[in-house]
C-alpha cells in the first residue's frame, strides 16, 4: 500500500482526542486547513453510517466550543486524500 498521511498521523498539530471504542478514530487539527478534523483509524474510503454519525457528533462538540453553536459546518469532501475517510469541521463562513 502506498504511503498515506492519514494512516501515519503525526503530532504536528494539536490533538483533541483519540478514540479506541466504539471504533478507532482521531480528532486533530488538519495541518493544511488549520481546522479540526476526524480521521478514521482504518484506511477505508467509506465509514459505516454509525461511524460517520459518531465522528460528526464528536466533531460537533469541538465545533460548539471553538466556533459557537450553529457557527460551524461539517465538510466530508475529501480533497487531498480521497481514499481514507476524514471529515473536516469548518467555520460557517468557510468557502472551499
Q: How far is the CB of 11 from Zn ion (least distance, A)?
A: 16
Site for Zn ion contains 82 (CB under 5 A) = no
Q: Cell 453510517 appears where?
A: 49
Please report whether residue 84 would count as binding Zn ion according to CB under 5 A: yes
Rounded to an integer, what distance in angstroms lies between the CA atom of residue 6 and that of residue 41?
Answer: 8
**Nine-digit cell at 75?**
465538510
Looking only at the bridges linking them, the beta strands covering 72-75 and 25-29 are unpaired
Q: Where are the beta strands (DSSP E) in 1-96?
A: 15-19, 25-29, 36-40, 72-75, 86-91
Q: Work out whether 74 is an interface residue with Zn ion (CB under 5 A).
A: no
* 6 sits near Zn ion (criterion: CB under 5 A): yes
Task: State the binding string over 13-52 for Zn ion (x if CB under 5 A, else -).
Answer: -----------------x-xx---------x---------
The residues binding Zn ion (CB under 5 A) are 4, 6-7, 30, 32-33, 43, 84
Amino acid at each position: 500500500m502506498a504511503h498515506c498521511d492519514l494512516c501515519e498521523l503525526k503530532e504536528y498539530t494539536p490533538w483533541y482526542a483519540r478514540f479506541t471504542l466504539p471504533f478507532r478514530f482521531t480528532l486533530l487539527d488538519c495541518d493544511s486547513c488549520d481546522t479540526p478534523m476526524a480521521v478514521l483509524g482504518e484506511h477505508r474510503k467509506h465509514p459505516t453510517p454509525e461511524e460517520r454519525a459518531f465522528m460528526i457528533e464528536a466533531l460537533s462538540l469541538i465545533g460548539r466550543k471553538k466556533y459557537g453553536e450553529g457557527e460551524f459546518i461539517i465538510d466530508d469532501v475529501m480533497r487531498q486524500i480521497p481514499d481514507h475517510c476524514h471529515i473536516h469541521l469548518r467555520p460557517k463562513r468557510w468557502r472551499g
